[in-house]
Amino acid sequence: MSTPLHILEHTFGYPSFRGQQGEVIDHVVAGGSAFVLMPTGGGKSLCYQIPALCRSGVGIVISPLIALMQDQVAALRQVGVRAAAINSAASWDEVRAAKDKMRAGEIDLVYVAPERLTMDDFLGLLRETPLALFAIDEAHCVSQWGHDFRPEYMQLGALAEKFPDVPRIALTATADAPTRRDIIERLHLKDGKAFIAGFDRPNIAYTIVEKENPRSQLLNFIRQNHLGDSGIVYCLSRRKVEETASWLKGEGFDALPYHAGLGAELRAANQTRFLREENIVMVATIAFGMGIDKPNVRFVAHLDLPKNIEAYYQETGRAGRDGLAANAWMAYGLQDVAQQRGFIESGETSDEQKRVERQKLSALLGLCEATRCRRQVMLEYFGDACAPCNNCDTCLSPPRTFDGTAAAQKALSCAYRTGQRFGVNYLIDVLLGADNERITQFGHHGQSTYGIGKEFSAVQWRGIFRQLVAAGLLFVDLDNHGGLSITDQGRDFLKSKDALALREPRAAKPGRGKRAAAASAAVETKDAGLFEALRAQRLELAKEQGVPPYVIFHDKTLATMASVKPRSLGDMATIGGVGDAKLARYGQTFLETIRPFLEDA
């Protein structure tokens, strides 16, 4: 039987394991169960794919999305692994053939949704099948504390009782400490081993800007950093998705909408285009995301605030899965806070669940208003740590702080003296001494706070109010039409008169980011022409086979080819991502593409 390292080298084309991969794989090959937390792009899939190939029997992979199953099956078949998916997208003949091969032990990996796995007939099939292991992907879906809870995952704990001798491995890229404990308990993995590999994605540059003119800010960000790149733009509502996609098309981008309200055929067609073509911008709600394996997504942008840090981490993690430079960019404002608070309060969840969700939202606001390294703030939330990264906006352009005690007192006093029932724009008008009918109507031109805030502009006051909400001194009262109320913490602040440091207010700048286009990030300028020729060859092969280009070779592999310029199949075999099957299938074709670019050609 092949060793894990032999399979890694000859099947998947990599010379050595990364991080804890080898340790996880050895543990599962030996029959142990495990919980694995590894960042997106860290190689989680190999942690169950290689043990399934090493152990006798069939590896059963529980996956939440058909698109994810199809991508992974396509990628495995490219490297010569016998894989199949049993789901509603498969034909009756394909399902029957896969089941026959399962019973005979003539297939390596079978992907299935949790709903199907727990059906009586499928459990009966599993009892007739020699099993190598169960892999539970996106395991955070089992936890009600996770950001993407799915009730059907709850039933997967029964696998421990029904198949006690089959090792189980649960994997996720996103789980804080309570979620990790919940996963281990619900999937009965207490007797297994936990592998926590950390959360850091050092190739992603994080930027969060104050929302002023979000469309203009987004356009500047893409044009300055990502012309010709694939990316994802997240919006909160279906309507905003469609409007933003239409607007981006008008600006010359190949933009597609994606949300749950679109017809299934159109949704599937748009997702297929995004996965199989280059330079597509997908504008989507969170309905698009989990299991998107496209490795060369160069940017993820948020036009609205996500619901918590887990969701932000998961969504931004879809950028740069190939390890090359990528951007995570977000525009956020006070209205976003009100929207997310509204979703929490109107949700049909328990008081305890709402309390947890409020805490998680507060943590995200803390990340948005951070004055120190954003990566440090985010990793600390997950119980991880790093040095200042020099790859986020607060590291590259450190915000200055000022003594905001007086400004905070003016803002809180204004909210109090106007009855704690008005929104931020009205309060700013009062502070600036605006002459309008509304202020006159309510008699607030005679209040002591009228006109006392002229040292700041309206834009700067919005930043101050936003920081006071994030700090918990003010509360967006949804029962009072979004009026700002003073919290108990805010009242304590007014009484104690403690000093308060705030980020120095500044007018919003155009959308910023760190230039991270694939070609410039992956290869030297002199090799850019060859890199693009290799990408064109890959795209042609992918279209012929009806598969996404990245299941043939990742950009990172093509970048290495462009740099090394292999002259023989032996040279090609040394490049990461070129295993035996791909070498035999594609090696000569890509050598022909490279030949005209050789110096002595």
Q: Using one digit for the tens of pLDDT, what is the confidence trace for 138-191?
A: 898 898 766 577 888 999 999 999 999 999 999 998 888 888 999 999 999 999
Give the pLDDT confidence score for residue 408 in this predicted structure.
95
Give the pLDDT confidence score for residue 505 in this predicted structure.
63
- Whether residue 475 contacts residue 466, with contact meaning beta carbons closer than 8 Å, is answered with no
The shares of helix, strand and coil residues in the chain, as percent rounded to the nearest 5, are 50, 15, 35
Amino acid at 328: A
Residues 362, 366, 367, 369, CA torsion sign: positive
How far separated are the first and last CA of the chain, in Å rounded? 43
pTM for this prediction: 0.82
Neighbours of 90 (CB within 10 A): 18
Quick one: average pLDDT of 123-136?
A: 97
pLDDT tens profile 334-356: 888 888 888 888 888 888 888 88
Alpha-carbon distance values, 122 to 109, 178, 187 (Å)? 15, 32, 19
Structure tokens at 52: 């399934």
- Whether residue 558 contacts residue 538, with contact meaning beta carbons closer than 8 Å, is answered with yes
Q: How far is the C-alpha of 174 from the C-alpha of 147, rounded, in Å?
A: 9
**Which 3 state secondary structure label does DSSP give 422?**
coil
Walk me through the domains of the chain, giving residue ranges and CATH numbers. Answer: 4-196 (3.40.50.300), 204-396 (3.40.50.300), 401-503 (1.10.10.10), 523-597 (1.10.150.80)
Q: How far is the C-alpha of 198 from the C-alpha of 168, rounded, in Å?
A: 21
- Whether residue 46 contacts residue 8, with contact meaning beta carbons closer than 8 Å, is answered with yes
pLDDT tens profile 392-442: 999 999 998 999 999 999 999 999 999 999 989 999 999 999 989 999 999
**Least confident segment among 177-186, 444-453, 506-515:** 506-515
- In this structure, the strands spanning 326-332 and 483-486 are unpaired
Single out the residue of 599, 397, 415 nearest to residue 509, CA to CA.
397
Structure tokens at 458: 């309206």
- In this structure, the strands spanning 297-302 and 230-234 are parallel
Quick one: average pLDDT of 106-118?
A: 94
pLDDT exceeds cutoff 60 at 507: no
Backbone angles phi, psi at 593, to 5 degrees: -70, -35
Amino acid at 143: S
Higher pLDDT, residue 526 or 262: 262
Quick one: average pLDDT of 65-71?
A: 82
Alpha-carbon 529 to chain mean position: 31
Listing DSSP states for 319-358 in one string gives: S-TTSS-EEEEEEE-HHHHHHHHHHHHHSSS-HHHHHHHH
Give the pLDDT confidence score for residue 355 in this predicted structure.
87
Alpha-carbon distance values, 518 to 271, 321, 523 (Å)? 21, 12, 8
Residue 544, class by beta-carbon neighbours within 10 Å (0-12 exposed, 13-18 middle, 19+ buried)? Answer: exposed
pLDDT exceeds cutoff 50 at 516: no
Torsion, Cα 526 531 533 539, to 10 degrees, reads -170
Structure tokens at 179: 């979620």
Exposure on the CB side of residue 488, measured as CA atoms within 13 A: 0
Quick one: average pLDDT of 514-526?
A: 58
pLDDT exceeds cutoff 90 at 297: yes
pLDDT tens profile 227-280: 999 999 999 999 999 999 999 999 999 999 999 999 989 998 998 899 889 899
pLDDT exceeds cutoff 90 at 523: no
pLDDT exceeds cutoff 50 at 520: no
In this structure, what DSSP letter does residue 187 have? T
How confident is the prediction for the chain on average, in pLDDT?
Answer: 90
pLDDT exceeds cutoff 80 at 509: no
pLDDT tens profile 462-499: 889 989 988 889 988 766 667 899 999 999 999 998 89
Tell me the percentage of the chain whose pLDDT exceeds 70: 94
Structure tokens at 113: 């949704």
Residues 6+ apart with CB under 8 A from 95: 86
Amino acid at 106: E
